[in-house]
Chains A and B, each alone.
Chain A
Amino acid sequence: KQEVTQIPAALSVPEGENLVLNCSFTDSAIYNLQWFRQDPGKGLTSLLLIQSSQREQTSGRLNASLDKSSGRSTLYIAASQPGDSATYLCAPLTGANNLFFGTGTRLTVIP
């Protein structure tokens, strides 16, 4: 069974800093990997999706990389803003519609 670990569990940074969130997964036979954002008490918002054949994806200040063979993905956030404060979840897709979630990284950006 796929196991997903996200480090750190919580992160607090001053506004403007660049930061990296880490995700590791045990089963490298994935179809793709998706990064989500979850605000307290809310649903999930998709940020980036990386296909298994890709190395990275970029959207605005966000850049996600994927090293499938080593079971790792990182989410890079440039010039962090208070509005970026949320929990970030990574979810590799394994097999037929099996989306596994890590426990997330709770990010706080201090103004």
Chain B
Amino acid sequence: GAVVSQHPSRVICKSGTSVKIECRSLDFQATTMFWYRQFPKKSLMLMATSNEGSKATYEQGVEKDKFLINHASLTLSTLTVTSAHPEDSSFYICSASEGYGYTFGSGTRLTVV
């Protein structure tokens, strides 16, 4: 079945630095990938839709200059949290669809200290 790989699984960074999270579709091509954020005991919230070769589409309230998304190839999308602050600490998950349902990555736990 479809596999989505996400790295890193955990990252701790200092406030003010930037962090890049990678999402790869391993055995299929994904023209569209999705980035979600999840707060403790809360549901997943869609942040943005990543489109290969074009600009990402951000959900209302998500700062596009803070959460930079690049989808340079059909198998890789990256989310960069720029100038991270403690309130950016969260669980970030990506997903992609092979055409039948959605497959999710294993998530990235970001802690900003």
Contact = CB atoms under 8 A, between A and B. Distances in A.
Interface residues of A, number: 20
A43 B101 contact: no
A43 B43 contact: no
Interface residues of B, number: 23
A41 B109 contact: yes
User: At the interface, is chain A mostly helix, strand, loop or mixed?
Assistant: strand
Nearest to B94: A43
A46 B100 CA distance: 11
Contact of B102 (A4, A41, A42, A99): A99
A97 B103 CA distance: 13
A108 interface: no
Contacts of A97: 32, 34, 49, 97
Nearest to A34: B101
Contacts of A101: 43-45
Nearest to B49: A97
A43 B105 contact: yes
Given A34-B101, A46-B101, A49-B101, A99 B106 contact: no
A82 B91 CA distance: 25
A41 B32 contact: no
A49 B100 contact: yes
A43 B102 CA distance: 12
Contacts of B104: 36, 43-46
Interface of B: 6, 32, 34, 41-46, 49, 91, 93, 95, 97, 100-107, 109
